A = this chain, B = another copy of it.
Amino acid sequence: MDRNFDKYARELVETGRILYDLGMVPATSGNFSARVADDCFAITVSGRHKGRMTTDDIMQVNAQGQSLDNRRPSAETGLHMQIYQRFPKVCVILHPHSLYATLLSRQVNEEVVLADYELLKAFPDIDTHEYRLKVPVFDNDQNIARLAQKVDAYMDSNEPIHGYLIRGHGFYTWGETMEAALRHVEAFEFLFKCELMMRGGVQA
């Protein structure tokens, strides 16, 4: 298990650097995690700058999101655990806090529908730009348990789902590997920015 944790810790540090360079985790926003074993997950320590981490900024929690090493995990650990529980094959979850996702989440009501983009094929089992990918937008909530419940209820009747937005608060996406999760982040960022521009209601 330790070797697995060390590998993921290094990958999460590197992923933080990549996403910071892309402008997607300003200040200390964002959080990332990985499934290390059945009851052990690597996750970013609360309040750290995600672009300038070392492996000391990655800690361990169990499947209930409780600290296994006396440090405090991200306040949003519960959202990660909901995803791991629902999707047994998911091994990495990334929550960037990008400007375009933030703005788009304040422009739309309940969901964004992404269509006619070749880049949709970056997501699993989508093999044509004609696919219509729905991305739900949840209202922000400091009560994470309550928010996780809403996400869970949505997933009961709306799969497949590859990510979601929280209003004024970035987005969540995931994958079976670090590479897949990062691919989904880059694809969503591109598509959210396109969508924001297509709507024309917001400028920059």
Contacts and interface: CB of A to CB of B under 8 A. Distances in A.
A26 B140 contact: no
A183 B99 contact: no
A1 interface: no
B116 A106 contact: yes
B169 A118 contact: yes
Contacts of A122: 27-29
A39 to B, nearest CB: 29
Given A127-B142, A190-B26, A168 B117 contact: yes
A9 B94 CA distance: 32
A103 B195 CA distance: 9
A200 B200 CA distance: 9
A186 B168 CA distance: 16
Nearest to A120: B168
Q: Lowest 7 A-B CB distances belong to which pairs?
A: A118-B169, A203-B203, A27-B122, A27-B187, A197-B204, A27-B186, A26-B186
Given A102-B118, A118-B166, A204-B204, 9 more contacts: A26-B189, A27-B122, A27-B183, A27-B190, A49-B182, A102-B117, A106-B198, A118-B140, A128-B142
Interface of A: 26-29, 49, 97, 99-100, 102-103, 106, 116-119, 122, 127-129, 140, 142, 166-170, 179, 182-184, 186-187, 189-190, 193-194, 196-198, 200-204
30 contacts: A26-B189, A27-B119, A27-B122, A27-B184, A27-B190, A28-B183, A29-B118, A29-B119, A29-B122, A49-B183, A99-B190, A99-B193, A99-B194, A100-B204, A102-B190, A102-B194, A103-B197, A103-B198, A116-B167, A116-B168, A117-B168, A117-B169, A118-B140, A118-B166, A118-B169, A129-B168, A200-B202, A202-B203, A203-B204, A204-B204
